[in-house]
Amino acid sequence: MYLSEFQKEILKSISQQKIKNVENFLRYYCDLDEALNEGVTFGTNFGQYNAGIKVFIPKNIIFAENQLKEFIILWDKLEKEGLIITVPRERTFQYTFPIFSRDCLYHNQHYKTAPLETILIIIKDREYKEIVSTLELSKFIENQYLTNDEAKQKEEKEDRIGSQKLTRKVAYTSISISIIVSVISMIFNYLAYTTKREVIISNPKAFKDTISVYIINGKDSIKSKSSKNKSFR
């Protein structure tokens, strides 16, 4: 499973139970300011936000949205692999987590705030759900962010590569030994080579009528005269 470095960081927070739900994540990772919903009641698809309630405003909306998207993608991945379980969360408010935008200043120097729908749409289906980590999640982290199947495939691949390397090493060693033996044999034959030859005539009667012996070597020939010795060198 591919995870970004930021998702790995979130994963560790989940395993340590620092992050259990969307609200935890928004507060912990999205750099929010606290403010009051001044003087206006908002009725929205996400619930009714009354005047005077505490709201949370991202310092950088694009940054907060990108962080949140990575969290939701990670949530889906972990749930699909069975590394976490999603359970219902107790509903404590009549509205989705009050995350607002701060658009502009009133003439009296107060900021105008309003529900931030781009983020509320993302978190609506997760607002009242909670993450429960499993033992498999700890193993996943220990396995360098590999599932059991991925870890098994990696081990099999490493074993296969190791076997191939050993086979090549044995082959290279055998070839090297053969070359060394051949070279040594050639050197030995060269050093042991001599022009001395011995011809033995085993029939004594052959000397009575043997006039000469020819040693034939290709086109050249050497003539040796007959002798009463039984051998010619």
Top-confidence residue, 59 or 149: 59
Per-residue confidence (pLDDT) for residue 80, from 0 to 100: 92
Number of domains in the chain: 3
**Token pair for residue 106?**
């009133």
Asked whether residue 114 falls in the same domain as residue 210, the answer is no
Asked whether residue 21 falls in the same domain as residue 103, the answer is yes
Residues 76, 37: Cα–Cα separation, whole Å = 33
Asked whether residue 204 falls in the same domain as residue 219, the answer is yes
Asked whether residue 77 falls in the same domain as residue 178, the answer is no
Q: How confident is the model at residue 189 (pLDDT cuts 50, 70, 90)?
A: confident
Asked whether residue 202 falls in the same domain as residue 154, the answer is no
Per-residue confidence (pLDDT) for residue 185, from 0 to 100: 79
Per-residue confidence (pLDDT) for residue 203, from 0 to 100: 67
Residues 84, 79: Cα–Cα separation, whole Å = 5
| Short-list 143, 149, 120, 130, CA closest to 8 | 143
Asked whether residue 150 falls in the same domain as residue 132, the answer is no
Q: In angstroms, what is the C-alpha Rg of the chain?
A: 45
φ and ψ at residue 115, rounded to 5 degrees: -55, 135
| Short-list 198, 205, 204, CA closest to 233 | 198
Per-residue confidence (pLDDT) for residue 230, from 0 to 100: 47
Question: Has residue 113 got a pLDDT over 50?
Answer: yes
Per-residue confidence (pLDDT) for residue 159, from 0 to 100: 57
CA atoms within 13 A on the CB side of 175: 6
Question: Has residue 36 got a pLDDT over 60?
Answer: yes
Asked whether residue 63 falls in the same domain as residue 123, the answer is yes
Encode pLDDT of 125-138 as tens digits.
998 999 999 988 98
160: containing domain: 146-193
Asked whether residue 200 falls in the same domain as residue 186, the answer is no
Q: How confident is the model at residue 31 (pLDDT cuts 50, 70, 90)?
A: very high
Top-confidence residue, 90 or 24: 24
Q: How much of the chain, in percent, has pLDDT values that exceed 70?
A: 71
Asked whether residue 141 falls in the same domain as residue 151, the answer is no
Asked whether residue 139 falls in the same domain as residue 26, the answer is yes
Q: How confident is the model at residue 153 (pLDDT cuts 50, 70, 90)?
A: low
Which residues are within 8 A (CB) of 63 and not within 5 positions of it... i.e. 6 or more apart?
30, 31
Query: Alpha helices, DSSP H only, in 112-231?
Result: 117-123, 135-142, 148-192, 206-209
Asked whether residue 86 falls in the same domain as residue 53, the answer is yes
Q: What rounded mean pLDDT belongs to the chain? A: 80
Question: Has residue 197 got a pLDDT over 70?
Answer: no
Top-confidence residue, 31 or 110: 31
CB 113 within 8 A of CB 102: yes
From 45-59, 191-205, 212-226, the region with the lowest mean pLDDT = 212-226
Q: Give mean pLDDT, residues 44-60.
A: 92
Encode pLDDT of 79-110 as tens digits.
999 999 999 988 777 889 999 998 755 555 55
Asked whether residue 137 falls in the same domain as residue 155, the answer is no
